[in-house]
Amino acid sequence: MMRKLLFLLLLFAAISFPASCIQNATNVIFSEQGTNIVLVIVIVGMVIALAYMIGSLTSNPRFTVFAKDELYHLGISILLLASFSVIIGSSCSIMGFFYSSTFEKLNVTSCYNPGEDLNTVSNCYIKMVKSDAEFTAQRFLKEYINNQMYSTLSITIQVPFINAQTVSAEAYRKVYSQQYDLVLNSFIIPALLSLNIQKIILEFVSKNVISWILPIAFLFRVFIPTRQMGNFLIALSIGLYIFLPFLYTFNLAMYDISSQDCSKFKLATDDVVFGDGCSTYGFWNVGRFLPQAFFLPNLSIALFITFMSAVNKALRVIG
């Protein structure tokens, strides 16, 4: 009963999710690994037909049950293959709903255009944050060097026949340079490294999950010994291509929102060295990098693992 219910839910999902806003993922699959997938499906179909014929001729129920069970699993695999493009297509619908119900009201429009999917939006956001971190790092490094140079400026007063007096005119800039150095090496550089790694991961996901991981998952699912591994890889593909970009889109949108107004925090962010805390290179904008670089990715990984485990369990129930 549970299998039939999940089968009907899967079939309903396949015909109800709109897929008009991105290219058909099934075409992508067949353009890369289609020959192998079709060949395996044909071979398994022949094995099923042969097993059923042997079972019918010999009246051996083992062959008949085997044939029917494998036919069910083959049908599920074909349905998953056909409907996965529709599931992928739903990602842009999720993005559209999320934008119209949340982002538009918050005036968060930096990386969203109608019809774009979650991967496109999340990649745009991570590139934007990484670019901001790079500019901030360059500015802080420049200010560090300038303050170091100015701190060596000295004035010498020569009194004839008596003595010479040397005064360091801007020695206080040594302290300024140390503050720039501390913030740069303790926060901005580690954040930039983390953001760059996340950017590479998101780009890898958007370019390789559909083309490689998903076809391998369906190939594994057809064979009995590797069926559970195939289910796991399908769950991994759904999580990587839809759920993970959704989390990143939500998290990085918070970065976009936080840039709108920090005037209420000026007493805490203004500084003698950095100046206005709400300026482009003030404490507020430096602090915006830290959640995106360290806390939110860890939270996303934990949620991603939970989601993937749930999808894997659902696929195991289906078969």
The answer to the question of residue 252 being in a domain is yes
- The pLDDT, as a whole number, for residue 74 is 79
Q: Domain tally for the chain?
A: 1
- E strands present in 110-257: 154-159, 163-168
**Which parts of the chain register pLDDT below 50?**
1-24
Q: Can you give the residue range of the structural domain that contains 210?
A: 89-318
Strand partners, 156: 166
The answer to the question of residue 186 being in a domain is yes
- The pLDDT, as a whole number, for residue 2 is 41
How many whole angstroms separate alpha carbon 42 and alpha carbon 299?
A: 43
- The pLDDT, as a whole number, for residue 148 is 85
Q: What count of other Cβ atoms lies within 10 Å of the Cβ of residue 166?
A: 10
How many whole angstroms separate alpha carbon 256 and alpha carbon 270?
A: 21
The answer to the question of residue 208 being in a domain is yes
How many whole angstroms separate alpha carbon 248 and alpha carbon 165?
A: 60
For 82, the token pair is 């056909």
pLDDT in tens, 185-216: 988 999 999 999 999 988 888 777 777 777 77
Contact 214, 177 (CB under 8 A): no
- The pLDDT, as a whole number, for residue 29 is 54
Q: Give the DSSP letter string of 162-205.
A: TEEEEEETTTTHHHHHHHHHHHIIIIIHHHHHHHHHHHHHHHHH
- The pLDDT, as a whole number, for residue 191 is 92
How many whole angstroms separate alpha carbon 12 and alpha carbon 86?
A: 11
Contact 231, 221 (CB under 8 A): yes
> Rounded to two decimals, what is the model's pTM?
0.73
How many whole angstroms separate alpha carbon 27 and alpha carbon 211?
A: 10
Q: What per-residue string of b and e applies to 300-312 under the rule 16 or more CB within 10 Å gives b?
A: beeebeebbeebb
The answer to the question of residue 262 being in a domain is yes
The answer to the question of residue 236 being in a domain is yes
The answer to the question of residue 6 being in a domain is no
Specify the DSSP class assigned to residue 273. T
The answer to the question of residue 77 being in a domain is no
pLDDT in tens, 34-65: 666 677 778 778 888 888 888 888 888 888 88
The answer to the question of residue 39 being in a domain is no
- The pLDDT, as a whole number, for residue 62 is 85
